[in-house]
Every structure is written in structure tokens, then in C-alpha cells.
Structure 1
Amino acid sequence: MQGMRFAFFYALAPLSALFLGCAELPDDLAPAPASDTAPAARASRVAVQPVVRECPADLPMDAYNINDARIDEDGRLSMLVQYGGGCREHEFTLCWDGGFMESYPVQTRLVLHHDGNGDMCRALPTVELRFDLRELEKGYKDAYGDDSGQIVLRLDGYDHTIPFSF
């Protein structure tokens, strides 16, 4: 019986640490229900942000991991991003310097900036971010004069390239 008490205690200890990690977990950062749905299928619930051309040099660069990135059925970049925190609102900005690397197809570099707003909590939330790529499409059309094309996206901190066709 004593062994069962210890097993029960050790099973509950990590759960209590999760709930006590922050004084209060905001509703918008509460864990989402478990789902095996791909990011693209859930995308309609996530606000779409623009890609920012030529971001200021002083944007915060707090730590994060890109777990997955792909172009969704609407032609937008959808990313699953994990970061440390959980008690404050976090802000993400996807930046593009406006240039293309000459290759076939052309490539471009994107940098995701993360501002954790001083959040010192220890949870590891995962969020879905969606970005409108029309700025890249417009830049391509202005540079190459073509109405359609393909750009290979290179996200800093992500080991895979992402083909974007329009």
C-alpha cells in the first residue's frame, strides 16, 4: 500500500508543477484540446498576419522553436511554434528583407521575431501562426515580371525549405 502512495504522489507531482508554474494562465494561452488535425486544417481559427518587409533592427528575438511549417490550402504560411512562457501575451513578427537569392526557383530568407514581453513562466505553449505571403508574391512579380512563379522559403531556425507557388 505504501508503494502505491509513492507512485500516486510521483504521478501527481508533475501535474501540480504544471498548474502552479504560473500564477494565472490566461484563457487564450490555455492548452487546446488534443487533436491529430494538421495545421492547415485548423488554420481557419487562427488570425492571419502580414509579412513585414524590412523590419527594424531592434525587434526582440526571444527563443522559440519552429516545429512545423507549410503552405496551407489558402496559400498562406502556417507554422507551429513552441516557446517558453505561458503567463503573458507573446508577439511574433515575420520579416523579409525584400531580396531574392538567384537560383531556380528563386529563394528568399524569412526571420521570425518573437517578443515574450518578459514572460518568465516555465510552460512550453505551442501556437499556430499564419502569415499572408502576398508581399513576397508582389516582390517577385515586380522583380521578374511574371504573374506566376515559385519561391523557396528559408526560415531562420527551421531545417527544411518550403516551396511557395502562386
Structure 2
Amino acid sequence: MSLTLQQYGVVPVIQMQGDEEEDTRLLRALLEDATGFMSGFRWCKAIRSRHFGMGVGGLFAVFLFEIENAADPGDALLWVISGDLPPAYLVLEGGSTDPAQALATYVDLMQAWADAAGQGASVADLIPVNVAPTQDNARALGSRLAYLREHFLAA
């Protein structure tokens, strides 16, 4: 698969830089978190390439991974979001075509989870989240999502 970086608004992670040296260090830590998250899935046989889309060190980052997907070879490109919030991957095909769209999709999916968890409803059919669906976790996630919406997704 040929990944056209310009098409997706990403750069190779070797070119990833924050506003300051500390921000860059924190972004690299988020990259390692995202890599560990994806490597934890049995169907992710290999990570072929990693690209940086957007982020703020210590807060969040959006990466585009090209993987060898044993479960569905057609889903080789995945957006991976990591940070001070639950990690997640989003399938690229038919979905978000740039990092901001991927982040917006992530926020929408996580908000649906937070809303359901906050109301004590089932989260079984929603995006998987690596914390218990309690009201406290729903509130904490909701406040982080509101911050992302206000500071990074506002029109």
C-alpha cells in the first residue's frame, strides 16, 4: 500500500516536533503509548509505518498507522489516538481523511460512551473504552472531550 502523506495531512514520526523540546518529548511518549496500544491486538501482526497528524504533548496525539492486519487486510490504515484519555483506533477506509476529522470522530464516539455510561446505560455496542463505565469515569472523560472540542475542534 502506498501511503500518500500529503493526502492525509500527516508527516513521518521522525519529523514530529512540538512547540518546544519538552512538547516533542511528550509527543514521542504518546507515540510509544499508541504503538503499545496497537501492538496489543493479536490481529495487528506488524506496524509498517507511523505518521504524526496533530497533537499536544501530554494531552493528546493523532497518528496514522499502516499495519499488517491479520483480521482484515483491507483495513491497513488506522488513525490511532492516544493521550490523557482512553486510547482508540479508527478505521480509515470510508472515514476520516485528515487528523482533525479523526479527532472529531473520536470525540463523537467517546462522547456517546460517556453519555451512556453517565446514565447507567449499556456501552456494549459503543467504542471500547479501557475503564469501567461509571458516572465518575463518564464525567472525567466528558470534561476532557469538552476541552478538546473547545480548543482543537472549534470552527
TM normalised by structure 2 equals 0.29
**Could you say which structure has the greater relative contact order, defined with CA pairs below 8 angstroms and 6 or more residues apart?**
1
Name the structure with the higher strand share.
1
TM normalised by structure 1 equals 0.28
Give 1 or 2 for the bigger CA radius of gyration: 1
Name the structure with the higher helix share.
2
